């Protein structure tokens, strides 16, 4: 999963849907986007071609799925948010599938995660697809039974003995029904600048044993040389990445944003306070992180330039590191609490189940995509570990330091690692309206940490009441 750069998931929470006008099969969709207008041609299942004017910044061509009775060929649509190298290898897998399944045609469309849900909801409401979606649970939950339909009956046609750990199949088990097929585990890891460690004569830490709080601090102090413009680490203070960093550590104490009965916010608990104080102390007390309020791209640039030696962020950074030929290594996230939790938001395949024949065809592709000899190809490019155990046994997979570390973290997983667990229909409203603004204010010293966390808890509890 490439970093969702410049993507604000608020788009599908706050942004109003554009007006959808359906007149004799001609749909004009107007959404709130920049004023550039691009003409999009969409083929509908008739003999006519309809031209649609869409205000957008990119060209997207979508073929409305259909079944051709004379040939028995089924056309399905597959929408996803894999917009980086992971999307390119996915396209090649789709082409390989179609070459061996001539009766199934797959039309794919890639969108930012923010656009994916709003566009899919409009399309499904009009009966035009997609048939298959690759999305993340925290984004999909508000759309269950709208875009994602229960798939317990479809799981009988998969070799679920391949899923490891087995609990991953419950990542999208909501109200007693399974809504999706999890296949990958994008998660936080710790990236190291191997050249900085070598220059300082410091051995690389173990990739199979997380650093404790004291071990991490001792290492950070050794690495930090402000006079050389070198700091040990940099955690984010802006936008959703600030929350992801904090989430990694408060989850290690067993804290979830809401109690399991979905009534009480736990983000003002003693352990949530302790996790945030640790991140602040790295800057203010130990001075092993630069004193600034910045976002993910700023700190990633620092890491790429060798100005910070350790960077805790997602497995999806792999493609950028390889492209820049950055000398890196990977270890688990530091262990501050009681268990090795970390930010994670799995990739899951969801079925809209608009049409039985197209659902059957989509399932055929899913079986192909999740076969060990295929899914490992996607995993080694995306940098995201997969749940299919035979894929993880392939030599190419085992050779990846990143995948081995992330797979180890995945083996330690509990649901507390999952972003916004337990799920609630108002979770992203809570995140962007209350949690992030107050968290940023704490980092800017505009509000004391205790007051800020109490404010977050009060605002969230009022929202979910």
How large is the C-alpha radius of gyration of the chain? Answer: 23
3-class SS string, 86-99: HHHHHHHHHHHHHH
Task: Compute the C-alpha angle 327/331/335, nearest 5°.
Answer: 145
Nearest Cα residue to 309 out of 196, 435, 162, 396:
196
Residues with Cβ within 8 Å of 333's Cβ and at least 6 positions away in sequence, in order, are: 188, 189, 190, 210, 248, 312, 340, 342, 409
- Whether the pLDDT of residue 328 is over 70: the answer is yes
- Whether the pLDDT of residue 24 is over 80: the answer is no
What the block records as the tokens of 63 is 């073929």
Contact 151, 180 (CB under 8 A): yes
pLDDT at 71: 61
Partners of 308 in the β-ladder:
231
Distance CA 296, CA 320 (A): 14
- Whether the pLDDT of residue 91 is over 80: the answer is yes
State how beta strands 231-233 and 308-314 pair: parallel
Helix (H) or strand (E) holding 245: helix 239-250
Lowest mean pLDDT among 132-136, 172-176, 411-415: 411-415
Question: Other CB atoms closer than 10 Å to residue 9's CB: what's the count?
Answer: 19
The torsion angles phi and psi of 139, rounded to 5 degrees, stand at -85, -35
**Rounded to the nearest 10 degrees, what angle do helices 239-250 and 436-443 cross at?**
90
Nearest Cα residue to 178 out of 143, 147, 144:
144
What the block records as the tokens of 354 is 């608009």
Which ranges in the chain are annotated with CATH 3.40.190.10? 61-186+345-416, 188-343+426-464
Give CA separation, 385 vs 217, 252, 261, 378, 440, in Å. 28, 20, 31, 10, 31
Task: Please tell me the number of Cα atoms within 13 Å of 376 on its side-chain side.
Answer: 17
Question: With respect to CATH, is domain 188-343+426-464 assigned 3.40.1350.10?
Answer: no
pLDDT (tens digit per residue) in 211-254 = 999 999 999 999 999 999 999 999 999 999 999 999 999 999 99
pLDDT > 90: percent of the chain: 74
The highest-confidence range among 19-33, 109-123, 436-450, by mean pLDDT, is: 436-450
Distance CA 298, CA 295 (A): 6
Nearest Cα residue to 387 out of 84, 172, 141, 144:
172
Give 292's pLDDT tier (boundaries 50, 70, 90).
Answer: very high
- Whether the pLDDT of residue 64 is over 50: the answer is no
Distance CA 321, CA 313 (A): 12
Output the DSSP codes for 162-214: GBSSGGGGGTTEETTEE-EEEEE--BEEEEEEHHHHHHHT-PPPPSSSPPBHH
Give CA separation, 199 vs 202, 220, 226, 250, in Å. 8, 15, 16, 33
> Sign (positive/negative) of CA torsion 136, 142, 147, 148?
positive
Give 72's pLDDT tier (boundaries 50, 70, 90).
Answer: confident
- Whether the pLDDT of residue 449 is over 50: the answer is yes
- Whether the pLDDT of residue 131 is over 60: the answer is yes
Nearest Cα residue to 206 out of 343, 401, 433, 391:
401
- Whether the pLDDT of residue 60 is over 70: the answer is no
Distance CA 172, CA 161 (A): 18
Contact 310, 220 (CB under 8 A): yes
Contact 205, 219 (CB under 8 A): yes
Which has more pLDDT, 256 or 3?
256
Question: With respect to CATH, is domain 61-186+345-416 assigned 3.40.190.10?
Answer: yes
Give 406's pLDDT tier (boundaries 50, 70, 90).
Answer: very high
First to last CA, the chain: 34
pLDDT at 369: 97
- Whether the pLDDT of residue 307 is over 80: the answer is yes
Q: How many residues does the chain have?
A: 465
Q: What is the mean pLDDT of residues 170-192?
A: 94
Average pLDDT taken over every residue of the chain: 85
């Amino acid at each position: 999963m490439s970093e969702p750069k410049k993507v604000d998931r608020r788009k599908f929470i706050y942004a109003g849907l554009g007006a959808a006008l359906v007149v004799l099969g001609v749909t004009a969709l107007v959404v709130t986007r920049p004023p550039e207008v691009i003409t999009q041609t969409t083929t509908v299942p008739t003999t006519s071609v309809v031209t649609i004017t869409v205000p957008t910044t990119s060209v997207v061509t979508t073929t409305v799925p259909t079944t051709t009775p004379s040939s028995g060929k089924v056309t399905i649509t597959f929408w996803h948010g894999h917009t980086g190298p992971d999307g390119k290898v996915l396209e090649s897998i789709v082409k390989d599938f179609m070459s061996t399944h001539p009766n199934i045609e797959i039309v794919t469309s890639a969108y930012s995660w923010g656009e994916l849900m709003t566009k899919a909801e409009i399309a499904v409401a009009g009966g035009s697809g997609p048939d298959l979606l690759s999305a993340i649970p925290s984004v999909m939950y508000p759309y269950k039974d709208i875009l994602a339909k229960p798939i317990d009956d479809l799981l009988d046609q998969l070799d679920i003995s391949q899923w490891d750990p087995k609990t991953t199949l419950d990542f999208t088990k909501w109200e007693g029904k399974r809504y999706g097929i999890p296949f990958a585990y994008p998660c936080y890891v710790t990236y190291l600048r191997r050249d900085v460690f070598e220059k300082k004569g410091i051995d690389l830490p173990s990739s199979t044993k997380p650093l404790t709080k004291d071990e991490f601090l001792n290492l950070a102090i050794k690495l930090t040389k402000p006079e050389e413009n070198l700091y040990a680490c940099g955690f984010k203070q802006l936008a959703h990445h600030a929350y992801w960093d904090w989430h990694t550590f408060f989850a290690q104490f067993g804290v979830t944003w809401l109690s399991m009965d979905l009534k009480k916010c736990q983000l003002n608990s003693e352990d949530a306070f302790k996790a945030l104080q640790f991140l602040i102390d790295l800057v203010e007390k130990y001075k092993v992180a630069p004193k600034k309020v910045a976002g993910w791209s700023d700190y990633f640039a620092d890491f790429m330039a060798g100005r910070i030696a350790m960077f805790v962020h997602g497995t999806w950074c792999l493609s950028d590191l390889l492209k820049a030929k950055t000398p890196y290594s990977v270890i688990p996230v530091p262990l501050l609490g009681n268990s090795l939790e970390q930010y994670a938001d799995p990739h899951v395949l969801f079925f809209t189940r608009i049409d039985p024949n197209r659902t059957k065809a989509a399932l055929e592709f899913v079986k192909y995509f999740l076969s060990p000899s295929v899914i490992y190809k996607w995993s080694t490019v995306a940098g995201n570990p997969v749940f299919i155990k035979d894929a993880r046994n392939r030599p190419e997979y085992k050779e990846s330091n990143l995948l081995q570390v992330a797979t180890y973290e995945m083996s330690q997983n509990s649901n507390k690692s999952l972003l916004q667990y337990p799920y609630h229909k108002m979770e992203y409203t809570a995140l962007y309206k209350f949690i992030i603004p107050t968290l940023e204010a704490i980092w800017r010293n505009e509000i004391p940490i205790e007051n800020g966390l109490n404010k977050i808890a009060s605002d969230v509890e009022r929202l979910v009441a």
